Chains A and B, each alone.
Chain A
């Protein structure tokens, strides 16, 4: 990349701060809608990091798939299940928080120690193919990664059909409990939820 090193450092610092503060906001904020929009910001900043790493194609894919599809899907899910409810208090919430925070901080210190102490065998930047990476990704996808590429298409088809099957309302010809035929009107009816009021 031909950007001056100082500019790269400034961009990296800003993007990392946005990523980390945004991720903390996603996890900690009270309102789930704010979390969803912050998540979009985090995805955009990750795409910026990819641009810093000379990967314009993956950055574009990140913006298209994550911000354009996954984030919109999450916002739709929030709109569909957005119900104000008073959560039942958990009695041992404090010890749970302490234990999980300890686990996360321990894992973080372990990972950072590995990052800093390991000697990475870095290749020389002269080999860098830079902007040709899109061509190289295409060659990979249609030669040595052809089988995973085709399997990924089957996986996407399976996910699509699975999501439709899981998310649609059950349409049955007979009522399970009474055995009477069900009228198949397209009007939304108030259905009794199946598994409520257990314990």
Chain B
């Protein structure tokens, strides 16, 4: 099999798998820091997707790369605020166990 370049499907499959690993971690982690890490993994999966499409479908205008820059910006802001919320939670409840954050549970 002769190919000119890596097929776009390879990038898409890697990003799909990374996204699903991120969702699994989000659903199954007990530690709140690990939940934040899973969110970062999912954001990276989305970024790989955007970059692949930008390179294969729109390689002249590369608007996907601009989108990726914005996603990276928002991810940095989200990580800062998320970790601040985590610190304030830890100060009030002295734990990072996700199962103990049940104030809104009826």
Binding site for B on A (CB under 8 A): 5, 8-9, 12, 16, 19-20, 23-24, 26-27, 32, 35-36, 39, 42-43, 46, 49-50, 52-55, 57-58, 61-62, 65-66, 69-70, 73-74, 76-78, 80-81, 83, 85, 87-88, 90, 96-97, 100-101, 103-105, 107-108, 111-112, 115-116, 120-123, 125, 127-129, 133, 136-137, 140-141, 145, 148, 152, 155-156, 158-160, 162-164, 166-167, 169, 193-196, 198-199
Contact = CB atoms under 8 A, between A and B. Distances in A.
Given A55-B55, A73-B79, A74-B79, A148 B6 contact: no
A164 B84 CA distance: 8
A167 B59 contact: no
A155 B77 contact: yes
Given A77-B87, A103-B23, 5 more contacts: A26-B41, A39-B37, A61-B69, A128-B55, A133-B65
Interface of B: 3-6, 8-14, 16-25, 27-31, 33-34, 36-38, 40-41, 44, 47-48, 51-52, 54-63, 65-66, 68-70, 72-81, 83-88, 90-97, 99-100, 102-103
A35 B62 CA distance: 33
A55 B48 CA distance: 11
Contacts of A66: 40, 44, 72, 75
A127 B61 CA distance: 10
A129 B74 CA distance: 27
Contacts of B25: 26-27
A156 B76 contact: yes
Interface of A is mostly: helix
A176 to B, nearest CB: 14
Contacts of A164: 84
A167 B87 contact: yes
Contact of B99 (A19, A50, A87): A87
A196 B93 contact: yes
A193 B93 contact: yes
A181 B61 CA distance: 62
Contact of B6 (A12, A87, A101): A12
A46 B44 contact: yes
B11 to A, nearest CB: 7
Nearest to A25: B21
B100 to A, nearest CB: 8
Contact of B5 (A46, A116, A125, A166): A125
A108 B8 CA distance: 17
By Cβ-Cβ distance, the 7 closest A-B pairs, closest first, are A159-B77, A27-B25, A111-B16, A166-B84, A167-B84, A163-B84, A115-B12
A65 B72 contact: yes
Contacts of A127: 59-60
Contacts of A115: 9, 12-13, 16
